[in-house]
Structure 1
């Protein structure tokens, strides 16, 4: 584990001198990492850190997962095609067939698969363009505290004022409506949204789509309830509005099932995936659409790196290794209870609220300064954990889904000790 007084920051001069001021996470975790395996990162001084961050959710199967790494090494050693734009390759075909056989067919889902570009915001941008092209409408409804990416279309959907300010231009063609319990548990936000849709004097143009995360990760681990999500889907169907689920951070098993919306009676028109879809941290994104929505002309939406074949290889390996049965889902559900119990132990004496699903859970403190202080203290003690929410008021647990029980428990113990150190209130995490 890392020492109390971290030594790794002494080698940061090169980054300070040459890298842009826009860099962010490296300021929260000021050391130089040199290797990683599973749920552990190691810096240049040989100090180990338990990873409760997992590449912001891009490493659901951990760092350098052996099954994925061996598939990638074999492919590269055989001079497999790495870059091919959107040309047909054996790696792409194998991924498409595997995704269909392992994910879509068992769930009785019929979707066409688009490779929009390598990142999550590419998936969102293509979903927006597609929804507007299909419906002929310009407006899109997104929800308070949502986060969908940093390019202009995605940023227009995003609620966070700090991130929106970076655009430098007006962010238009989006109406922001309250997410689930944003106005309190007594307010029916679906009824309010419907009132806007049905009243021609509301000022809201009939939208092309609703876009949402079932769990708002960056927004503070806010949960869409079953009733709210299913009512929204029914509303979308009734008003012929497309439903886009952004499953970029909470898909690929983060909440337990492969898709976060699986427990609910929801059939999205469009689904956005990225982050852990490659399984290895390699850039990859998918936009899934119902077949009747596949109306783009050839080349109408493209990108140089939409054919990242190395990512196809690791994504295929991940699907075969983890999604041909429900073992990983069962592990996520077991570990989710462990995490929740630990967070509730912390919350009970700290005027805090715990919320989340599966292996994305958070604890929100009434004193908004506490979460960032805990993150810094945890780093000193050998735990990487980030904050979320509009005021960084939530500590967000996001470990690899495959984390060993012993490491998970040790990380939760560090989190409890860090909270106690910051607040001077003892915490007992079993």
Structure 2
């Protein structure tokens, strides 16, 4: 077995067998699934209690419009007659007894005043939530408007009073709004994963280098391993750890999506949103490009972090020196939303072609189908070139710095390390 494979195996198996890795890798998706289950359970209970309402129409004209509109908004409506509740509505009548028993959240009463100014009355032990209050007001107001403007101009008047609408017509190739949204979702999700991976696993390389340097065991290791083999072995080993963790999370996510989504989220299943899930699944081309961005971006930043670790002698120095690297990773993430807002702009193109920003921004542009293949190809070539330069410089700094102890090197000293390393 070569020295490089020995270093890679040691870095990989030492970390994947550690308790923090096992706990963190398994606990994260379990916590996420538990959070979804709890949210769904609480949401179901809250929705069942809040969505059951009674409607009393004293006009005899609004119920036909109001009740279907409330049903579209998710309410479970029970029509009550004016005789059931009496006039005026008072405590002790059966509908209010059902409210007290928790069978109904409340009773919505519409009358002649509703026809005049859209005012309705809510009877209940407590008011609806702020969100439900708005939807109730909207439903009552629209029903009253439709009644007032009933006739040939009814639909037009209601649309105008509701604020109008905007239809987008694409010139040339047709665009599917759902697919456009899926591209944005995949772009943001993939960019966040890349941002997380570059920072977390890059910093893991730095800590690994620093631990061996401060523990004074690196001298022993270098007696049987060349510096570049040690550095590359650490980068490959930690990268394999990160890829293993991501794959485990992907498997958990796939199981959650295919086996438990409908049962776990009954409210979502009822709305038909799960039917749109296939649209949000990435194609193989996007998956391949994501892996390219992941590996090239990781190797670039892991090399930088390894060089930073070799320059430091203490944890405090490492925290200070890694801040500029973190800021470089943060910049493309900060530009993510502006780039997705106008992915074909000159700013988006220039930023996504810059090799240190390409892993995040070019992937986001490819996800929304805004980057021509030649631009994606140039970004890959740029990342490969940047990796070659960064690895060469980082390797020379690592070769000298890993054996240095004491004060932090100055810029002239770093330049000398690069020239003489």
TM class by smaller structure: under 0.3
Name the structure with the higher strand share.
1
TM-score (norm. length: structure 2): 0.21
Normalized per residue, which structure has more helix? 2
Larger-Rg structure: 2
> More relative contact order in 1 or in 2 (CA 8 Å, sep 6+)?
1
TM-score of the aligned structures, taking structure 1 as reference length: 0.20
